[in-house]
Amino acid sequence: MRYVSTRGAAAPVSASQAIIRGIAPDGGLYVPERIPVIDGAFIRALGDMDYRSRSVAVLELYLEEFSHDELTAIAAAAYGENFDDPAIAPLRPLDGETAALELWHGPTCAFKDMALQIMPRLLTASLRKNGEERTVCILVATSGDTGKAALEGFRDVPGTRIMVFYPRDGVSQVQKLQMATQQGGNVNVVAVAGNFDDAQAGVKSIFADGDFAKVLDGRGYFLSSANSINWGRLAPQIAYYFSAYCDMAKAGLVKPGESADFCVPTGNFGDILAGWYAKRMGLPVGRLICASNDNNVLTDFIATGVYDKNRPFHLTSSPSMDILVSSNLERLLYCLTGDPAAVRGFMENLNREGRYDVGPALREQIRAEFTGGFCRDADAKAEIGRLWREKGYLMDTHTAVASRVLADLRQREGVRRPTAVLSTASPFKFGGAVLEALGAVTSETGPELVEELAALTGVAAPKPLTGLGNKTVRFDGWVEKEAMERAVSDFLS
């Protein structure tokens, strides 16, 4: 299967080339030229498989260059003992119509692990398929979660090195400690004196420096990125929608063939787009509910067809959803229109004016497939308290946004359809906000919050987050933003 650019001005490539490149040379995103279609027998067969085999069955439909055995080995390495639940993506029924799909049992306790544990292995296999002999060095600028998940994903993966830059004063103490104590022989973490934009601008200018690329080439290295627009991060996410549906059928939440709704806490639109692919493939998905926090640009877009990022930016207690430009939306616009010139026009408008209008026809198409909703920060916190009191279920701030949006929708419509809420982070990752939501008063700000939440609720904290304060700090250096390239050069000397 070939992959084409959403902007239509780049040549089609193979899956492995799409994974190596990340973004297409015309600035577009790679999408499969057709969406594979499955039948009822495919879903019934998945029902008897474990998560790894389910993921292989879905991935091999998209990655035809990879053999079944190759993908089986990759999935076994990606989804194993590094997850603290053998189900990998367990479904927790909350009542007769609702379940939480927990995507945070991996090594960094957030759903990014579902893709970043497997993507580095897909990338190294792709490099081999294309005869690349140099070592790839992944550069990441992070505001928190992605950096740690990428470090864990690439740590000690042969043929790779990874260097992460984070803003010195722009991440939480837990996030900083998670990165500073990172294990692995091929990793490096450096703070930048500046904010996230400085770190991101620094990384972009390193990528753009052709002379530096030549120097690194002479040393046997080249640079790449692992951000969420890479198809190698999107494809693995399709699998958990299939897995969740099978588990909902097993739990009696849906009858065989009956459709299930999914409610997704959304930022960059990657997670929910994977659900849309699953639906297009033939999985019985009813509605995809796109849940936003106070940064509700997507709610407005689904309602009006106008995407407008000219609005105040809100810092919320669900920071991974504090996003005004949802990059993966470009893939949906392309798939629904099949018209790269139209997509180019929308993206040019977004660059120039910060907005675009898809018009009534496309708006209706989008509304037929997505339901939008948002909730205020205070309401998400109240939802954490409600679920804990009523069901004894502890959820994080991002999951709470989705849970609340679903509850409001059901209230408005007066019907309760079978729905899986995607749970994207461990509540212990955002311990301060969760404690506050439970009415606890705390003076802590650091890793002690993890223990405090465990003590208050009696829920065990995930291993990777306990004892963070006692782990050895390996990376405590920082650089001025002008010195970032020098730091990369030293790392790859």
Decide if residue 110 touches ligand PLP (CB under 6 A). Answer: yes
- Give the sign of the dihedral formed by CA 95, CA 101, CA 106, CA 110: negative
Work out how close the CB of 145 gets to ligand PLP at its nearest, in angstroms, rounded to a whole number. Answer: 5
**Cα 195 from chain centre:** 22
Contact (CB, 8 A) for 420 and 101: yes
Contact (CB, 8 A) for 216 and 198: no
Q: Which is nearer to ligand PLP, 279 or 481 (CB)?
A: 279
Radius of gyration of the chain (CA): 22
Work out how close the CB of 441 gets to ligand PLP at its nearest, in angstroms, rounded to a whole number. Answer: 25
Q: Which two tokens stand for residue 197?
A: 């934009």
Work out how close the CB of 229 gets to ligand PLP at its nearest, in angstroms, rounded to a whole number. Answer: 10
For residue 381, which phi and psi values (nearest 5 degrees)? -65, -40
Within 282-396, where are the H helices? 297-304, 329-337, 340-353, 359-369, 377-391
Q: Strand pairing partners for 308?
A: 355
- Using the contact rule CB under 6 A, the part of the chain among 161-169, 197-205, 267-275, 443-451 near ligand PLP is 267-275
Work out how close the CB of 268 gets to ligand PLP at its nearest, in angstroms, rounded to a whole number. Answer: 3
Work out how close the CB of 283 gets to ligand PLP at its nearest, in angstroms, rounded to a whole number. Answer: 18
- Using the contact rule CB under 6 A, the part of the chain among 59-67, 109-117, 307-315, 459-467 near ligand PLP is 109-117
- Alpha-carbon distances, residue 194 vs 141, 170, 483 (angstroms): 12, 8, 12
Contact (CB, 8 A) for 43 and 54: no
Q: Which is nearer to ligand PLP, 216 or 271 (CB)?
A: 271
Among 112, 331, 404, 481, binds ligand PLP (CB under 6 A): 112
Q: Which is nearer to ligand PLP, 54 or 429 (CB)?
A: 429
Decide if residue 403 touches ligand PLP (CB under 6 A). Answer: no
Q: Interface residues for ligand PLP in 247-266 (CB under 6 A)? A: 265-266
Decide if residue 424 touches ligand PLP (CB under 6 A). Answer: yes
Cα–Cα distance measured from residue 487 to residue 493, given in angstroms and rounded to the nearest whole number? 10
Among 28, 90, 107, 267, binds ligand PLP (CB under 6 A): 267
- Alpha-carbon distances, residue 431 vs 292, 396, 434, 445, 447 (angstroms): 21, 8, 5, 9, 9
Binding mask 128-167 for ligand PLP (x = CB under 6 A): -----------------x----------------------
Among 55, 124, 317, 320, binds ligand PLP (CB under 6 A): 320
Decide if residue 427 touches ligand PLP (CB under 6 A). Answer: no
Decide if residue 109 touches ligand PLP (CB under 6 A). Answer: no
Q: Interface residues for ligand PLP in 288-317 (CB under 6 A)? A: none
If we measure between CA atoms, which residue out of 35, 57, 64, 56 comes closest to residue 280? Answer: 35
Work out how close the CB of 144 gets to ligand PLP at its nearest, in angstroms, rounded to a whole number. Answer: 9
Among 270, 275, 462, 464, binds ligand PLP (CB under 6 A): 270
Q: Which two tokens stand for residue 180?
A: 């500073």
Q: Which is nearer to ligand PLP, 186 or 268 (CB)?
A: 268
CB count within 10 Å of CB 356 equals 23
Cα–Cα distance measured from residue 370 to residue 404, given in angstroms and rounded to the nearest whole number? 17
Which residues in this chain contact ligand PLP in the complex, by CB under 6 A? 110-112, 145, 228, 265-271, 320-321, 398, 424-425
